[in-house]
Amino acid sequence: MKAKHLFWGLLFISLGILVLINNFSGLQWNWIDLWKLWPLLFILWGLGIMVKNNSWKILIAGIAGIIFAITLFASFKTIVHLTTGDFNVVFDNDSDSDYKYDLTEYAEPYKDNIKAAVFHFKAGAGTFTSATDSASNLFYAHTEGAKNNYELNTKLIGDQADIQMKMKETRFRFGKHSIRNRVEMYFNPTPLWDLNFDVGAASVDLDLTKVKVRNLNVGMGAASFKVNLGNTAERSNVNIESGVSSVELNIPESTGCEIITDGALNSKDFEGFTKISSDHYRTENFDKAQNKIFINIDSGVSSIKIKRYSNEW
């Protein structure tokens, strides 16, 4: 048997098995991590060139075929992360009266006893933005797209609120109307916030300069992510896991900041940071700053840009 025949044979067999398992069992895994196996292909390719023994060449080709199948499948699952929910295809026509684009509002009133709030947002493809709300609401959002396509649930436990906003289903629409899924969110500036975003192929732009952010956790597929953070919390933790993404963070100059990155092919632009070690960076004022931001980025193929702005910005 020739090495190339075994490579292609095991590639297609492995892909077929992964797709079948996914279709019938809802295969769950951290696909972003598995996607990072791709450098092994270069290692195996190099070994295949160096090894003269035909049996070893066949073995290396077989392993390479399986790894290539896993990385292909993992890349696909990461990029189309939005399909983890319900997935429908809608063909637009005049008789489609049950599916209308509309503006829907969601709100949770603010109560004086609320000191902390946890927010969970889960959606597929779309454009998601945020800003600071007035004191009347703890959380407010309006959506543009399928009418009432989100669920908003809130639990109040003592002085803490737990808010969950989830997209009911993902629809792809073909015809006269373009795909539309826009959500604009507003957060009250008084409580200390834990913000959790789980999105697919999305454009995310968060203005959190006046929001007290304790934790910001973001999971993305193929996305563009931008966030402006303020100097409002003593310690803010930012954790970003992404597939193929563009990431931009703006932080105040007066805040000390530490960055730890872990990624395969990342373009990094860290303005005003000093490199401590491999994938570890800090601002010069990190030790002396009263407020600190800790950023952890784990990404696939991404462009990562972190800028510092003056407090007057």
Tell which residue, 281, 191, 185, has the closest CA to residue 232.
Answer: 191
pTM here? 0.69
Contact 279, 243 (CB under 8 A): no
Q: How many residues does the chain have?
A: 313
Rounded (5°) CA angle 209-293-302: 90
Scan for tokens 């009266």, then name that residue.
Answer: 97
Report the distance separating Cα 193 and Cα 211, nearest Å: 8
Predicted local distance difference test score (pLDDT) of residue 32 = 52
Classify strands 150-157 and 87-91 as parallel, antiparallel or unpaired. Answer: unpaired
pLDDT in tens, 103-150: 889 999 999 999 999 999 998 878 899 987 667 899 999 998 877 889
Report residue 124 as tokens.
Answer: 């597929």
Packed helices 39-50 and 54-79: angle between N→C axes, nearest 10 degrees: 170
Strongest mean pLDDT among 42-56, 74-88, 163-177, 187-201: 187-201
Cα-based distances in Å from 220 to 49, 70, 186, 224: 37, 20, 21, 9
Report the distance separating Cα 103 and Cα 129, nearest Å: 15
In the predicted model, is pLDDT for residue 63 greater than 50?
yes
Contact 292, 235 (CB under 8 A): yes
Half-sphere exposure of 33 (CA within 13 A, CB side): 3
pLDDT in tens, 70-86: 777 766 665 554 344 43
Predicted local distance difference test score (pLDDT) of residue 101 = 65
Contact 121, 158 (CB under 8 A): no
The DSSP element (H or E) to which 150 belongs, if any, is strand 150-157
- In the beta sheet, which residues pair with residue 196? 120, 217
Report the distance separating Cα 229 and Cα 282, nearest Å: 16
Averaged pLDDT score across all residues of the chain: 79
Predicted local distance difference test score (pLDDT) of residue 67 = 80
pLDDT in tens, 148-182: 889 999 999 999 999 999 988 655 444 444 457 88
pLDDT in tens, 219-257: 887 678 899 999 999 999 999 987 767 889 999 999 999
Query: Where do the structural domains in the chain lie, given as residue ranges?
Result: 3-79, 101-309
